[in-house]
Amino acid sequence: CGVGITYSGNDADGEKLRLGPNDYTRERAALTGVLHVLQVWDRSTPLFIGVEDKAVSLNLTKRLDSNVRFGRVNTGSCAQVYRATAAALLARSGGVTFVPFAKQGGRLKAIELAQAAHSAPPSQPSLTTNALLALRGRPLAGLTQGEAHKTVIATQVIAARKTTIARLAESIAAVGDATSRWPTPGDVWASLRSKDLHRPTREFLWRLAHGTQKVGPFWRNVKNLEHRATCLHCNGQTETMEHALLLCNAPGREIIWQETQQLWARSGLPWPDISLGAIISCGLNHFTRRNGKRDAGAARRFKILVSEAAFLVWRIRNEWVIVNEGDHAKYPTVGEIRKRWKATISRRIRLDTQLLNRRRFGTRAVNLGLFRGTWEPLRHPGSDPPPGNWWASAGFLDGMWQRRPGERVPTGQPNHESVTFSQESA
Ligand SMILES: [Zn+2]
């Protein structure tokens, strides 16, 4: 007569809900469980939900439009709960992915909880459907069968690491929020293998996605290095990758992001919020031209700039923490940091000019149209078009780094008007 709910990676916590004796059907129980989870978790938290009743997950994904939203309901006595659940799903900003129940670790525990549910207070979920009225056809992490299959495979492969799942979910949510398209886990993994990313940068993103960089709590158990668990710059703050890359006040971080954003702004395109998930999924952003067509050059530019910026922030942090042992007398200067940033991007552009050589690089070569689409929008707005084959001379890079009179010079001071960093942690 009840429902058991367990959360992955956490054996202790679980919930049980009791349904009234006249209310109980398998379908209704499963549905009530889903609705409960959707209502108690913050709307922006991405969720992976496994439900025992397959019909329920199908009705909430593939058949959502036909069965539930448009009222062609063959969902019987559960119709009202279905509508409330659909509304709760559609009102979320974090993605929801349904995964197969049998493959979920907490299954036995969930069954145990359900059996003990008679001792729980009766469940009366709120059946409000207001969100349906505001519905603008936002896609769910809604799945066609093919996509569902891909999602399931990827979810199983990575299920071993809790951090990986959390990072993956953050990445999917970041793309979903910025572009209203929800990539599958498979898309995220594929984007991390992109040949547009220079190998060390690609490895950095890969490790970021798996949470294998050694920060924070990792050091608590390492003798004589316990002090590395907290940020050596921000007194007593536990260091996490999010802190190191996006929140830390140590010199370097803010300037690099401001420079990156300023360079990007020349192309006149919006700069999405940069969160940890947005860095990992930087290869999945879509940009469109004025004519509505996809701008592949912008997507590639964003991918390269964001990944290189994050990686440079990380390298500079490591040099100060590890090589200079967090010595407050040995901070890099603003000038040095800016020089490193310019050198990093210049080197990447020069590497790209080499990659134009199809004879030498074969399938790894970049085509000229994409190359130009990637870099030419970084010249100052309104400046003359660059000479026909600018990539053959150094002039383009020189022009790109010259500041225009009146152009704000980033100082590294927090500037919350133009730089928005997501401070949520999942
Ligand atoms: Zn810090």
CB 195, CB 364: distance < 8 Å: yes
Q: 103-112, 126-135, 231-240, 357-366 — which one is most confidently predicted on average?
A: 357-366
- Model pLDDT for residues 67-105, shown as the tens digit of each residue: 544 444 445 567 667 777 776 776 666 677 777 766 555
Q: Does the pLDDT value for residue 303 go beyond 90?
A: yes
Percent of the chain whose predicted confidence (pLDDT) is above 70: 74
DSSP letter, residue 247: I
Q: 30-39, 227-236, 343-352 — which one is most confidently predicted on average?
A: 343-352
CA of 260 to the centre of ligand 1 (A): 20
CA of 310 to the centre of ligand 1 (A): 15
Q: Does the pLDDT value for residue 59 go beyond 90?
A: no
| Strand 47-51 relative to strand 10-18, pairing | unpaired
- Between 362 and 405, name the one with better pLDDT: 362
CA of 340 to the centre of ligand 1 (A): 20
CA of 133 to the centre of ligand 1 (A): 44
Is 29 within the bounds of a domain?
yes
- Between 99 and 297, name the one with better pLDDT: 297
Query: What is the C-alpha radius of gyration for the chain, rounded to an integer number of angstroms?
Result: 25
- What angle do helix axes 162-179 and 185-192 make, rounded to 10 degrees? 90
Is 115 within the bounds of a domain?
yes
Closest CA to 2 of 15, 322, 54, 200: 15
CA of 413 to the centre of ligand 1 (A): 14
What's the average model confidence in pLDDT over 328-354? 92
Q: Tell me how many domains the chain contains.
A: 2
CA 383 from centroid of its chain's CA atoms: 35
Q: 38-42, 361-365, 378-382 — which one is most confidently predicted on average?
A: 361-365
What is the number of helices (H) and of strands (E) in the chain? 17, 4
CA of 234 to the centre of ligand 1 (A): 4
- Between 327 and 310, name the one with better pLDDT: 310
Q: Which residues are paired to 15 by β-bridges?
A: 5
Q: What is residue 93's predicted lDDT score, i.e. its pLDDT?
A: 67
Question: Quick one: 106 and 205 in the same domain?
Answer: no
Is 260 within the bounds of a domain?
yes
Question: Quick one: 209 and 305 in the same domain?
Answer: yes
Question: Quick one: 116 and 175 in the same domain?
Answer: no
Question: Quick one: 370 and 277 in the same domain?
Answer: yes
Q: What is residue 381's predicted lDDT score, i.e. its pLDDT?
A: 78
Q: Does the pLDDT value for residue 12 go beyond 60?
A: no
- Model pLDDT for residues 365-375, shown as the tens digit of each residue: 999 999 999 99
Question: Quick one: 46 and 190 in the same domain?
Answer: no
CA of 217 to the centre of ligand 1 (A): 14
| Strand 96-100 relative to strand 2-7, pairing | unpaired
- Between 144 and 76, name the one with better pLDDT: 76
Question: Quick one: 143 and 170 in the same domain?
Answer: no
Is 159 within the bounds of a domain?
no
Question: Quick one: 316 and 357 in the same domain?
Answer: yes
CATH of the domain at 74: 3.30.420
Is 407 within the bounds of a domain?
no
Q: What is residue 283's predicted lDDT score, i.e. its pLDDT?
A: 95
Residue-wise burial string across 247-279, b where 16 or more C-beta atoms lie within 10 A, e elsewhere: bbebbbbbbbbbbbbbbbebbebebbebbbbbb
Q: What is residue 315's predicted lDDT score, i.e. its pLDDT?
A: 95
- Show the CA angle centred on residue 321, arms to residues 318 and 326, nearest 5°: 155
Least confident range from 6-10, 333-337, 373-377, 402-406: namely 6-10
- Model pLDDT for residues 216-264, shown as the tens digit of each residue: 877 777 777 777 788 888 887 888 899 999 999 988 899 999 999 999 9
Question: Quick one: 66 and 176 in the same domain?
Answer: no
Is 123 within the bounds of a domain?
yes
**Site of tokens 């409960």:** 36
Q: What is residue 14's predicted lDDT score, i.e. its pLDDT?
A: 75
**Site of tokens 């349906």:** 132
Half-sphere exposure of 206 (CA within 13 A, CB side): 12
- Whole-angstrom CA distances from 113 to 11, 225, 412 are 12, 43, 52
CA of 323 to the centre of ligand 1 (A): 17
Question: Quick one: 386 and 246 in the same domain?
Answer: yes
CA of 342 to the centre of ligand 1 (A): 24
What's the average model confidence in pLDDT over 182-198? 88
- Between 155 and 70, name the one with better pLDDT: 70
CA of 143 to the centre of ligand 1 (A): 40
Percent of the chain whose predicted confidence (pLDDT) is above 90: 29
Q: What is residue 246's predicted lDDT score, i.e. its pLDDT?
A: 94
- Between 272 and 98, name the one with better pLDDT: 272
Instruction: Give the residue numbers spanning the domain of 25.
Output: 2-153
Question: Quick one: 321 and 341 in the same domain?
Answer: yes
Question: Quick one: 98 and 120 in the same domain?
Answer: yes
Name the pLDDT band for 390 (thresholds 50, 70, 90). Answer: confident
How far apart CA 123 and CA 107 sit, in angstroms, is 21
Which residues neighbour 130 within 8 Å (Cβ) at sequence distance 6 or greater? 87
Is 127 within the bounds of a domain?
yes
Least confident range from 143-147, 160-164, 208-212, 249-253: namely 143-147
Is 409 within the bounds of a domain?
no
**Residue-averaged pLDDT of the chain:** 77
Q: What is residue 137's predicted lDDT score, i.e. its pLDDT?
A: 30
Question: Quick one: 299 and 251 in the same domain?
Answer: yes
Q: Does the pLDDT value for residue 351 go beyond 80?
A: yes
Least confident range from 52-61, 78-87, 147-156, 405-414: namely 147-156
How far apart CA 154 and CA 187 sit, in angstroms, is 10
